[in-house]
Amino acid sequence: MPNAIWVGLVLAASVACVKNVPQDLKTGEDGRNKGAKEMKIENDEAKAHGIVTYPGGDRVDWKVLELPKDQTGTVELKLRWTPPRPGLDLSFDVYNEYGRLLESAKPNTRARSRKTQKVVTVPKAKGKLFIEVYASGRGDAGKYTLTAGWKADVIDTGLDWLAVQLMDPPKLPAVPEPIKPCEPFDKANPACKNECPITAYDPTWPPCANVCPVPPDPKIKACKLCNKDQMDPCLPDCLQYYPACDPDKVDPTNPKCDGVTKQPQAGEITDIKSLADGTQVTINLGTENGIDKTNWVGDILDPAGAKLTGTFKLVSVGKRASVGKTTNSSVPQGSTIVIKPKPGPAIKACH
């Protein structure tokens, strides 16, 4: 992708909290598994490059890796990425050609992790592998390199079977013909009766009732169920997995904290000093009362309990006392203050 577009994606990531952008607004053909771009193996290695960005509307890239014909082996997949700013995360899933999930490099569980590499190993791989590279969460984006290393399985018993004398096995009664595995998917095959082919999704097939196809379809109920590996606070099913909100540590990503704030604190004004542009006051509240310089505001009340005009701002916060400034130039002796936390950040907008 040209550098100008990459810069545009970075800018899009910086304003993602202002406007919700559909994750596939600007995605190309490789945003779906049918348009997956081929990774060719040369000297047992294949590479692919690209950019995915949730805020830029191009969240998903699909790649397809065709393994040597009639061989099984081990594939090591390594994803490295450069984010537009530290802490952004990419992930990827690996499927076989029948839509079965083989391995997954899941999203980071630690917030703002600076990890920029993920590796998974797929043993006994054969045929085609479909790799879905995606930006993990709503604000994530990155310029990535996906590397696939191939190592064919080698069977070496160390025996010369032509020189070994073997006896015929004893005769056994006939047994029923075994059921062939569900590969490829065939509704007539009994082994497929409980399988849902997510890449050839059929909503009328009973096993697909609670399965989300690839790519997800928001019209299908199963696609709106909660995924505990990547919880969406907008989904009611996810609410049960969030902890109770701590009013002393309001978490803006926890939907149970929506509307929760600390209780206001009432205090005395112990000192008043006139300034050219207002008044400086000292109050008998500090960190022991849970006061924080950046997250608290106050209303000054005169001795009769009436609110004074003007705004109040904390200048410094001590253990048992704090200093603030008001634009009101006339604060009478005996005034009090009610200090309260600023409203917390709103829970991120739901789609």
Domains of the chain from N-terminus onward: 3-152 (2.60.120.380), 265-341 (2.40.10.340)
Looking at per-residue pLDDT, the higher value among 274 and 11 belongs to 274
**4-13 residue pLDDT tens:** 555 455 544 4
Token pair of 101, please?
């999930």
Whether the pLDDT of residue 17 is over 50: the answer is no
pLDDT on residue 19: 55
Whether the pLDDT of residue 63 is over 60: the answer is yes
Among 65-74, 100-109, 162-171, 325-334, the minimum mean pLDDT is found in 162-171
Residue owning tokens 């590279």: 133
pLDDT on residue 26: 66
How many other C-beta atoms are found inside a 10 Å radius of the C-beta of residue 130? 21
**172-205 residue pLDDT tens:** 777 666 666 787 888 888 888 888 887 778 888 8
Bridge partners, residue 78, by sequence: 119, 147
Looking at per-residue pLDDT, the higher value among 97 and 112 belongs to 97
For residue 3, what is the enclosing H or E element? helix 3-14
What percent of the chain lies above the pLDDT cut of 70? 84
Residue 195 · residue 207 · CB < 8 Å: yes
**What CA–CA distance (Å, rounded) separates 337 from 280?**
13
Closest CA to 144 of 55, 62, 80: 80
Looking at per-residue pLDDT, the higher value among 156 and 340 belongs to 340
Whether the pLDDT of residue 3 is over 60: the answer is no
The DSSP string of 270-312 is EEEEEETTEEEEEES--GGGT--TTTEEEEEE-TTSPBPSS-E
Residue owning tokens 């490059």: 49
Greatest C-alpha distance within the chain: 111
Looking at per-residue pLDDT, the higher value among 21 and 155 belongs to 155
* pTM recorded for the entire structure: 0.42
Looking at per-residue pLDDT, the higher value among 218 and 279 belongs to 279
